[in-house]
Structure 1
Amino acid sequence: MIGILLAAGFSRRFGKTNKLLHLLPNGASIGATSAINLIDVLPVSIAVVQPDSQKLAKQLELAGLQVVTCMNEQGMAYSLAAATKYAAKLPESSGGFIIALADMPFIRPDSIEMVAKKLSQENHSIVLPTYQGSRGHPVGFAAKFRSELEKLQGDEGARSVIKSHQDEVHTFECEDPGILMDIDTQADLAGI
């Protein structure tokens, strides 16, 4: 199983700097914290970055992730497709993919582990955690969805795959509000 960290967004609402480089109270950046949470559970993990994100790429490499540059900056789906194509070359891809967002540093590793367990040990095809009834991240996909993930386009990420296979989606409730907490603006950091 392979972790995929999507870190190629534009951060337009956050301000002039890349939000993933913003330091959290723990002293690590938003992006590095998300990476560490993912790689703690999935030792083979890949991060996707923009071509001009060398500083972020370095942080993610130092966290232990393999870094892929997405040359198409037209949306999240292209980043996910680039990561999936790269991951397909690795033997661990036969176990499926856990897709996490780099602007969600508060997802606990045990939540990531639950998604991975339900995907592998319980043999579900698509796994989504929920918190108080709301769907969150990360999302797990069985390896059989690789070709669909590789063909994604636009800014919807993997939503189209989930919509096309609703009958194969397994949701489970977890006690982690972090699965819903993304950082898009400076205001999202208030109170941390």
Structure 2
Amino acid sequence: MSGVAAILLAAGRGTRFGEEFKLLAQVGGKALVRHVAEAAVHSSINPVIVVTGYSAEAVRAELQELPVQIVHNPFFADGLSTSLKAGFSALPLEARAALMLLGDMPLVSASLIDALVAGWHESGEPAALVPTLNGRRGNPVVISRDLQAAIESLSGDVGAGPFLRGRPDVVEWPTADNAVVQDIDTKEEFGKLRL
């Protein structure tokens, strides 16, 4: 085991996308969230924990035959922080870190996931490892279990980004992979997506 688990955040409504539920929008014959889940499953990471919330049964059905662990977040409407907490609380004891995957980043590949995990180990297992593209921070981020207390203190619709900024124990990991900054928030962005 790599010592790193995956937490795939798939609980939000994605209201900027419009009426259709963003994570189930089809591209290349698969839902956005399935592309991300398959990348995680085909990587060296184990387990893959999927945090559901809005339209949980539909997300579960989309992923049903994949070897993932589903964790439902009943408080998803209170914001992203609740899904981070739900994911971290489901980590197995042997997991020293979690790779945080966003359900709307279908260009993330298994090879990128493996490279991030290797980068975290090679960097001395820092508090977090954040991929960057041309100096811009992106996702997925590897977050050490040592930060679980900080995650538990979060509230509302905030992720880990704010408390990772300015920390000396966060490593930036430069990459040329555009996937780290390509999330899908709107129909326009979805329309430009090329897998």
Give the TM-score of the pair, scaled to structure 2. Answer: 0.89
Flag structure 2 segments of 5+ consecutive residues without an equivalent: none
2:100: which partner in 1? 99
Task: Report if aligned partners of 2:123, 2:171 keep a CA contact under 8 Å in 1.
Answer: no
Q: Count how many residue pairs are aligned between Structure 1 and Structure 2.
A: 187
Q: Letter of the aligned partner of 1:70 in structure 2? A: N
Please state how far the C-alpha of 1:51 moved relative to its aligned partner: 5.4
- Give the superposed CA RMSD: 1.6
Q: Letter of the aligned partner of 1:141 in structure 2? A: I
Task: Report if aligned partners of 1:61, 1:67 keep a CA contact under 8 Å in 2.
Answer: no
Task: Report if aligned partners of 1:119, 1:140 keep a CA contact under 8 Å in 2.
Answer: yes
**Secondary structure of residue in 1 paired with 2:123:** coil
1:50: which partner in 2? 53
2:81: which partner in 1? 77
2:14: which partner in 1? 11
2:183: which partner in 1? 182
1:86 aligns with 2:86: no
Which of 12, 22, 25 pairs up with 2:25? Answer: 22
Flag structure 1 segments of 5+ consecutive residues without an equivalent: none
Please state how far the C-alpha of 1:161 moved relative to its aligned partner: 3.0
1:31: which partner in 2? 33
1:113 aligns with 2:114: yes
- Distance in 2 separating the partners of 1:148 and 1:2: 18
Please state how far the C-alpha of 1:172 moved relative to its aligned partner: 1.5
- Distance in 1 separating the partners of 2:25 and 2:18: 11
State the Cα deviation string for residues 100-144 of structure 1 (Å, max 9, x = none): 100011112222112211222432221000112211100011121
- Distance in 2 separating the partners of 1:183 and 1:97: 22
Q: Letter of the aligned partner of 1:177 in structure 2? A: N
Instruction: From the two aligned structures, give the one with the greater helix fraction.
Output: 1
Distance 1:190 1:15, change over 3 A: same
What stretches of structure 1 move > 4 A for 4+ residues in a row?
none
**Secondary structure of residue in 1 paired with 2:23:** helix
1:131 aligns with 2:160: no
1:161: which partner in 2? 163
Distance 1:51 1:106, change over 3 A: closer
**Secondary structure of residue in 2 paired with 1:6:** strand
**Secondary structure of residue in 2 paired with 1:182:** coil
- Distance in 2 separating the partners of 1:143 and 1:107: 22
Please say which of residues 27-36 and 150-159 is displaced more in the overlay: 150-159
- Distance in 2 separating the partners of 1:92 and 1:63: 22
2:150: which partner in 1? 148
Give the TM-score of the pair, scaled to structure 1. Answer: 0.90
**Secondary structure of residue in 1 paired with 2:142:** strand
Task: Report if aligned partners of 1:99, 1:139 keep a CA contact under 8 Å in 2.
Answer: yes
- Distance in 2 separating the partners of 1:166 and 1:31: 31
**Secondary structure of residue in 1 paired with 2:41:** helix
**Secondary structure of residue in 2 paired with 1:148:** helix
